[in-house]
Amino acid sequence: MDTVIAAPKTGMQKLLDAVERVGNRVPHPVMIFVYLIGIVVVLSAILALFGVQVSYMAYNPATHEIEPATTAARSLLTIDGIRFMFAGVVRNFMGFNAVGVIIVAMVGVGVAEESGLVKALIRKLVMVAPPKALTFILVLVGILSSIAADAGYLVLIPLAAAAFLSVGRHPLAGLAAAFAAVAAAFLVNVLIVPVDGILTEITNDAIRLVNPNRTIDLAANLWFSIGSVVLLTVLITVITEKVIEPRLGAYAGDYHVPGENTLSDDEYRGLRFALRGLIAVAVLIGLLLLPPGAPLRNPDTGAMISDSPFMNSLIVSIALVFMACGIAYGRGAGTLKTTGEAIGAMQKAIGSLGGLILLLLVISQFIAFFNYTNMATLAAVSLAGVLQQANLDALWLLVGFVVVVFVLDLLITAAIAKWAIFAPVFVPLLMQLGVEPEAVLAAYRVGDSPINAITPLNAYFAMIVTFAIRYQKDAGVGTVIALMLPYVLVLSVVWTAFLAGWYLLGLPWGLG
């Protein structure tokens, strides 16, 4: 029998292997955040002792105005700080949005998975998608999934891993490709998404500091976003197939997706029933959304998208779709015969989240304590001040702004929170240098996204580690960081260069 000799690893593959080994030797993620909480407590006391504070212009969401603001370091070792740490534990956890989103989504996804619908859809996708285009299709869907807020994390990423495994490819490569698409390209789309409205509102308030008569609209970055979607889809696909998969090699784990890459008559019947379930939910949501004065419209403006109950509860609609389709599929395919079995599927899905919920409990405390100290704002304003005083020309200041956002994204993952700090500083500054505010907002989109794939403060990072462990028992934080690092490095450099080229060519950023 011939012996298969593995190709020698490249220098980059060896470096990523080292990153994975080192990363997986660090303590359990729960303990990492416990140690970080200790560091924040001590550092907050030191900064407060020295009276560290910053003054700046900031967006006030209550008044919708740009107002002077002063932020000082707050110690967690004061009477008020200790009270906050003890009295706020439950409130911090219950107010951590990712917890509710994950549980609600998994109620529906659990039914769809237990009934066999997810596996049938994966095999159907594999059957109809050209093998060479599978990565491209999954990446494109992942980037576009930002229209449904966080649904891409909860649905597409595990689906992509299983789809890769179904065709004999390494599931962690599918997981990495989808995670990169969902997280590292979050602020661009070919459509207008809900977060665009808030970013535009903050930008216009910052513009008024320089020109009260100038505004931008929701489509101000549309052309740049569409161009970025094309670029990032190609980049993530190439990195997955040329860097990630060769490093991972053939999958040697014992996890498998049950069933062949064909569908039985029962499964086809289940899919037809699932389609009927989808239509039924679509009709229900349509009746609650489309008529004038419908309950899911904005009660003041009547809008269906901008700040509407429909968009604010989108994860509920998605959960209903999966629940209805899963139950309908189970009835058609004979995999869920009773209501009790459907409820059991929900219980099983929620029960599987035990370890993740514990980790999110600790993460929620760390984020709340960190925000209480004001250290994130201190860092953001200080870095912005350094860049502002660097005496760079417009292009390099734009690129420097992207780098500053890269760095701060490790600490402040919320896109809106960062823009509320940065917009009043950089929009007026760059406008005075002749840079359009549309360009500044486009630069922010570039800076905010790639680091999402490697920062442990991403609310869904721990969940991605959990997904990885399903396929590789010894996986950990280091495994995921090593998987995502090539995407982050390449996307950061190439996307920034793309932004600079767009600016130098004077291409229109969007409509209007």
The reply to whether 1 falls in a domain is no
The reply to whether 130 falls in a domain is yes
The reply to whether 406 falls in a domain is yes
pTM, two decimals, is: 0.72
SS3 52: coil
Q: Which pLDDT tens digit goes with each residue over 323-344?
A: 999 999 999 999 998 889 989 9
What is the 3 state secondary structure string of 422-485?
HHHHHHHHHHHCCCCHHHHHHHHHHHHCHHHHCCCCCCCHHHHHHHHHHHCCCCCHHHHHHHHH
Helix and strand element counts for the chain (H, E): 24, 2
Q: Which pLDDT tens digit goes with each residue over 424-471?
A: 778 887 887 788 999 999 999 999 989 989 887 787 888 898 889 989
For 391, the enclosing helix (H) or strand (E) is none
The reply to whether 121 falls in a domain is yes
Separation between Cα atoms, residue 153 and residue 182, nearest integer Å: 7
Task: Return the number of other C-beta atoms located less than 10 Å from residue 189's C-beta.
Answer: 21
The reply to whether 512 falls in a domain is no
Nearest to 224 by CA among 449, 421, 485: 449
Separation between Cα atoms, residue 191 and residue 273, nearest integer Å: 30
Q: What's the total number of domains in the chain?
A: 1
101 Cβ contact partners less than 8 Å away, ≥ 6 residues apart: 150, 154, 315
Is residue 88 within 8 A of residue 412, CB to CB? The reply is no
pLDDT (tens, 9 = 90+) of the chain, 512 residues, equals 444 445 566 666 666 677 667 656 767 778 878 888 999 999 999 999 999 998 887 777 777 777 888 889 999 999 999 999 999 999 999 887 767 877 887 888 888 888 888 778 767 876 787 878 999 999 998 898 876 656 678 778 888 898 898 888 999 999 999 999 999 988 898 877 767 877 888 888 888 877 778 888 878 899 999 999 999 999 999 999 999 999 998 888 777 655 555 788 898 999 999 999 999 999 999 999 999 989 999 888 888 866 688 877 777 888 899 899 999 999 999 999 888 998 998 898 888 788 778 878 887 898 789 889 988 778 778 877 777 777 778 888 899 889 989 988 887 777 877 887 778 778 887 887 788 999 999 999 999 989 989 887 787 888 898 889 989 888 888 889 899 999 999 999 999 999 999 999 999 998 76
Q: Exposed, middle or buried, 260 (CB in 10 Å: 0-12/13-18/19+)? A: exposed
Supply the Cα-derived Rg of the chain in whole angstroms: 24
Residue type, 249: G
The reply to whether 254 falls in a domain is yes
| Separation in Å, CA 146 to CA 187, 270, 407 | 8, 29, 22
DSSP per-residue letters across 163-212: HHHHTTS-HHHHHHHHHHHHHTTTT--SS--HHHHHHHHHHHHHHTTT-T
The reply to whether 193 falls in a domain is yes
Residue type, 195: V
The reply to whether 32 falls in a domain is no
Separation between Cα atoms, residue 171 and residue 178, nearest integer Å: 11
For 410, the domain range is: 79-505
75 Cβ contact partners less than 8 Å away, ≥ 6 residues apart: 44, 45, 47, 48, 49, 81, 373
Is residue 424 within 8 A of residue 58, CB to CB? The reply is yes
Task: Name the one residue in this structure whose structure tokens are 């209501």.
Answer: 339
Task: Return the number of other C-beta atoms located less than 10 Å from residue 20's C-beta.
Answer: 22
